[in-house]
């Protein structure tokens, strides 16, 4: 039971990390798109 719980926790953590990485990348790209007209 402990091993299954550990594997499930690791799986959820890896999924959260991937989702968070994609979210941060999208936010950074969106921020750059918004700042681009101000730079020009």
Tens of pLDDT, residues 22-32: 988 888 777 76
Q: How far is CA 18 from CA 10, 22, 23, 30, 40, in A?
A: 12, 6, 9, 18, 33
Domain that holds residue 2: 1-40
Residues 29, 34, 38: CA angle, nearest 5 degrees: 130
Q: What pLDDT score was predicted for residue 34?
A: 65
**Residue pLDDT, tens place only, 1-40:** 799 999 999 999 999 999 999 988 888 777 767 666 665 5
Report the alpha-carbon distance of residue 19 to residue 26 in Å, rounded. Answer: 11
Q: Which two tokens stand for residue 20?
A: 């968070």
| Predicted TM-score (pTM) of this structure | 0.58
Q: How many domains does the chain have?
A: 1
Residue position matching structure tokens 């039971």: 1
């Amino acid at each position: 039971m402990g091993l299954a719980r550990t594997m499930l926790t690791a799986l959820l953590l890896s999924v959260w990390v991937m989702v968070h990485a994609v979210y941060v990348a999208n936010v950074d790209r969106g921020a750059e798109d918004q700042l681009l007209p101000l730079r020009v």
